[in-house]
Homo-oligomer: A and B are copies of this chain.
Amino acid sequence: MSDPQAPPRGEFEFVRRLGRLLAPGQPGVRQPRARAGVPFGDDMCVVAPDQPELLWTVDMLMDGVDFDSRVHTWRAIGRKALAVNLSDCAAMAVEPVSALCAVALANTLTMEDALDLLRGAQECGQSFHCPIVGGDTNSWDAPTVVSVSVAARCEAGRTPVRRDGARPGDRIWLTGPVGGSLLGRHMTFEPRIGTALAIARRLAPHALIDISDGLAVDLGRILEASDCGGTISAAALDAAVHPDAVRMADQDGRPARTHALEDGEDFELIVVLAADAPDGECAALGLLPLGQIISDAGLWLEERPGQRTPIPIRGWEHFR
């Protein structure tokens, strides 16, 4: 149990305070100010207000937290460092343009290790037309840190897909099964840029986010930003459990559903579409149905129509 006298901690509270620090809202308005139409704290942000189609983002990966250099190759680590940013591009349905890569290399690395790291990042970027164009090279007596920034453009005539457009009655979809990514997919996932662009072109999505911290947490972000709640159908959830989640459940005894709801780094997208989005189109894009947006706050598991139990919004949180 947390000590009420202890100083506040937690990444989520920190980001809320950051929002008030960096982008204070109007008096009486809970949300921090949006910049050129993209609210603070979404997956990407706008570089300059007079050019709202150009967005950027940054993700920092640390050895022992986001990868393990005793297990993963430097090439795979570099790939992931780029790919997590491309997943943010997918989460806004925008096309990546170029990347910067800054590193603090552990002094134990050889130059070939360091070049492999950059090779892995560059190969991943190039396969999405997103070359690395610059960066910063450092070394130190501590574990390796890789920070990649990616710039991206929204297609002409569209706007980036935000988190805050979900409306009661909308349906919730996934781009693929989730859970158990730690068995390997957290290093090898494919950023869903192609699917995201197709969704944006054909289905006018109301909200999008990628699953980095866990399905429950990231869906919770859509619900909070959109000021509504959501139900997940138990049958749909079971159909969206990844085989890796079942394998992990066998290993650690926690239910596969819990892995599907709480495991981070799936990097599938949560897609919120109008209720009348054509099922055939959704199926053609490989979308899996998951649930529904409702007006009541909170996230709920629906075992059968009308019978709801609350889902704890739990997942990976830094700075606890």
Contact = CB atoms under 8 A, between A and B. Distances in A.
Contact of A60 (B7, B115, B147): B147
B319 A114 contact: yes
Nearest to A110: B7
Contact of A17 (B45, B64, B115): B115
A231 interface: no
A145 B143 CA distance: 11
Nearest to A11: B137
5 closest pairs, A vs B, by CB?
A45-B134, A147-B147, A139-B319, A60-B102, A149-B149
Contact of A22 (B11, B57, B64, B118): B118
Nearest to A100: B58
Interface of A: 7-9, 11, 13-15, 17-18, 21-23, 35, 40-41, 44-48, 54, 56-60, 62, 64-65, 97-98, 100-105, 107, 110-112, 114-115, 118-119, 122, 131-143, 145, 147, 149, 151, 153, 318-320
A102 B18 contact: no
> Which of A17, A48, A133 has the most CB atoms of chain B within a 10 A radius of its CB?
A133
A195 B78 CA distance: 38
Given A14-B137, A57-B134, A58-B136, A147 B98 contact: no
A280 to B, nearest CB: 36
Contacts of A114: 14, 319
A96 to B, nearest CB: 10
Nearest to A18: B118
